[in-house]
Each structure stands twice: as structure tokens, then as C-alpha cells.
């Protein structure tokens, strides 16, 4: 297995209005995107588990083939900027995704060989 951060060019989170945070995962290439998408390693159930939330808080989970991207949106417990809310802009919420293990096949063959030699 390799980590999501090894096969994605962008892993980010940001505000999606005052009540939601949206997450974008954009992959390095078509091959990595397809392998991760088809592996089922990144699903609404997995997102709920990673973030310790009820799956009902995931208001949208989509794959977008033209952009080689997976996007999901979660509902906040408190509105952005309210007392007790910990990330006003939602920009620090992506971290649990970085170390998510994905199939090693997501690496291109040359990249996988280089990693194996190290």
C-alpha cells in the first residue's frame, strides 16, 4: 500500500458556506484516479470512519472523471466562526486523508519500481 498523498496532486479542504466543509482530492494521473476509485478504499463509509462522524453528516460524495477528482462535503456541527468551532475556514480538515492507504497499483510502474528500490 501507498498513501493517498503519494498519488494525489491536491488534497484540500475549504468552506462550503457557513454550515459545510468540502474536500477535494485531485489525482496525478488517470491511472492513479481509476485505481483508487475502483478499489473502494475511499467511500462515504471510510470518510465517516476517518473523521469520526456519522455518515449522515456527509451531504455529498462524488467522483468527477474529467478532473480525475473525488470530492465530498460534510456538514459542520457548528456554523463557521461560531463559539467552539475549531477551523473557521475549514482549511485544516484534510489532514486525516493524507495517510489513507491506497493500493500500490495506483503508482505508475516506473514510480513503483523507484519506490521499491529505496
What are the structural domain ranges in the chain? 2-117
pLDDT > 70: what percent of the chain? 92
Q: Mean per-residue pLDDT for 78-98?
A: 89
Per-residue pLDDT tens digits for 12-56: 999 998 999 999 999 999 999 999 999 999 999 999 999 999 999
pLDDT of the residue at 116: 59
Pairing status of strand 58-64 against strand 8-15: unpaired
- C-alpha–C-alpha distance, residues 16 and 110, integer Å: 38
pLDDT > 90: what percent of the chain? 76
85 has pLDDT over 90: no
Q: How confident is the model at residue 105 (pLDDT cuts 50, 70, 90)?
A: very high
- Residue 98 has a CB neighbour count (10 Å cut-off) of 12
- C-alpha–C-alpha distance, residues 19 and 5, integer Å: 27
Amino acid at each position: 500500500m501507498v498513501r493517498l498523498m503519494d498519488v494525489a496532486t491536491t488534497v484540500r479542504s475549504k468552506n462550503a458556506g457557513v454550515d459545510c466543509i468540502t474536500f477535494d482530492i485531485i489525482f496525478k494521473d488517470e491511472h492513479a484516479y481509476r485505481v483508487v476509485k475502483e478499489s473502494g478504499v475511499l467511500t462515504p463509509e471510510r470518510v465517516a470512519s476517518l473523521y469520526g462522524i456519522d455518515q449522515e453528516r456527509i451531504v455529498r460524495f462524488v467522483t468527477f472523471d474529467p478532473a480525475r477528482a473525488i470530492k465530498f462535503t460534510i456538514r459542520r456541527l457548528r456554523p463557521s466562526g461560531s463559539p467552539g468551532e475549531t477551523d473557521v475556514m475549514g482549511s485544516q480538515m484534510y489532514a486525516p486523508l493524507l495517510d489513507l492507504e491506497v493500493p500500490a497499483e495506483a503508482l505508475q510502474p516506473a514510480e513503483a519500481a523507484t519506490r521499491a528500490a529505496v
